[in-house]
Structures are given as structure tokens and as C-alpha cells.
Amino acid sequence: MKAAWLSWDKRNENQKNPTFHESSYSISIKARGELERLAKGRTKKSLSSVIDTLLLDAVSIKTLQKQLNKVIKGANCGVRLNYDFFSTFFSDDKVNEQAAIINQKLNQDLAFKENELKNEKIKSTNLEDENSKSKTEIDRMRAQIVSLEEENSKLKKSEEAANKELDDFLES
């Protein structure tokens, strides 16, 4: 009779209470040790609250991991990132730690962009050097054209003088 009463009382309490008491799961010794280690972390929590937190945060963690994987694949910068998600699960300042992870990613993106900018500056400097060399070559060619035009003018004058002498010679 006492067992029936306790069972009824537990079912009744579960209906009124937002939490559900369950004790029919079994886990390995290694998993139990890990659960105890997580519970004894920075903020001491009960095993039930650790399990509750893990299950409730699993969806948001999975979403964050997918987003980070997309960003990492898109970055293609060859840098290995250290994402320590489990340190953010059970802390009171979870948002700060997640912000630190995002900050780390943004810093790596900034470094990647700075590297790209450095490469573009090098290319720009090379193009400016080529442009300067081209301008020098153009100036040299213009000077050569001017000297050729002067020589051409002299040759035309010589030709005219020679033609005049020839005409004078033929007339005499």
C-alpha cells in the first residue's frame, strides 16, 4: 500500500511540477565521471542541472557549430581555430565566453583581410614601378621622335638645297 501511495504521489507531483523525476536511465562509468567533473566545475551544480543544461543547450550549440563551420569553410585561411564550447556550457557568463569566441573569429578574419591588403599594396607598388618605367620609356621615345624630326627637317633642307643646286647646274 505504501509503494502504491508513493508512486501515486510521485505521478501527482510530476503533473504539478515543471520538472520530471526520472531514474531509470543507465550510463557508463566514464560518462558518470565526466558528468561529475562537469558538475564540480567553476559553478558547482547538481548532476540533474548539468544534464538539464546539456540537453537544453544542445540545439543552440549545434547551430553555433554549423555557423562556425560555414564561416571557417568560407574563410579558407588555413588557420586552425580552437573552439572550446564546453567551457561555455556551464558558466554564468556564457554570453561573454561566446562573444570571446566570436571575437577570436573576427580577429582572424581581420588578420586575413590585413594580409590581403598587404598583398594588394605590394601589387600596387609593382604596378607603380611598371608605370614609372613605361613613362620613362615613353619620354625617351618622345625625345627620339623629336631628334628624328629635327634630322628629317635637316635632311629636307639638304634635299632642297641639293635640288636647287641640281636645277642651277642643269640650267647652266
Query: Is 92 inside a domain boundary?
Result: yes
Query: Is 15 inside a domain boundary?
Result: no
pTM of the prediction?
0.34
| Domain containing residue 122 | 29-171
Query: What pLDDT was estimated at residue 9?
Result: 81
Query: Is 90 inside a domain boundary?
Result: yes
Query: Is 10 inside a domain boundary?
Result: no
Residue by residue, pLDDT tens for the chain (172 residues) are 898 888 888 777 766 666 666 666 788 899 888 888 888 887 788 888 888 888 888 878 788 888 887 877 766 555 555 555 555 555 556 667 777 788 888 899 999 999 999 999 999 999 999 999 999 999 999 999 999 999 999 999 999 999 998 888 888 7
Domains contained in the chain, number = 1
* CB-based burial, 12-35: b 16+ in 10 Å, e otherwise: eeeeeeeeeeeeeeeeeeeeeeee
